[in-house]
Amino acid sequence: MSYEEKVNANYRGQEVTWYRDRLQSAEQAQKENLKSLVTPEDMPWENCEQGILKHLIHEEMGTVEHTLDLVIQLIPVGSRSGKHRHMGEEYMFILEGSGYSLHWDVEMELGDKYTWRVPDSPSRWEWEKGDSVYIPPNTIHQHFNDDPENPLRFISAESRIIRFMGLDDLEQLENAPEFGDKN
């Protein structure tokens, strides 16, 4: 079979403006007044399935940062976060308190189908103020405050790139107690 593009090259069917739209969007983005400085008043709180979050940087906040989401998570004395997994890796820095994380490192296979299996037992990672914790991609995880006197606070950083690539596979498996079963 011969290459037939030459025959069809001059056929003009449906017209679109996708490149022009992208160009105009890029020009508009350069004119936007995006925030380089985010003050505490600009950082909203959210009580959600994962727990109590203070958003430091989020795509809805209009900042110059386009690839990271940063939150401070607050876990009260004796409590825990929600239990979830997401395709992107995550990095935590412990600001206050002590506790541990449970990680279920999901075994996955990418072929004609995307399949994964959760191990029966998690690994346990103990940490305290000043420590940093890496959470690998697709790992089910949950954080626990075992400090009897202080709330736990940590900064969590997660890349948005995975979402932009269409691979955002976020699954909430258990809600934080502070959220409950709200819908």
Residue 56 contacts residue 71 (beta carbons within 8 Å): yes
Enter the pTM of the model: 0.80
Residue 8: predicted pLDDT: 67
Residue 132 contacts residue 94 (beta carbons within 8 Å): yes
pLDDT, one tens digit per residue, over 139-149 is 999 999 999 99
Residue 146 contacts residue 94 (beta carbons within 8 Å): no
pLDDT, one tens digit per residue, over 1-30 is 456 766 666 666 778 888 899 899 888 877
pLDDT, one tens digit per residue, over 66-85 is 889 999 999 999 999 999 99
The H or E element that residue 8 is part of is helix 5-8
CATH topology of domain 37-174: Jelly Rolls (2.60.120)
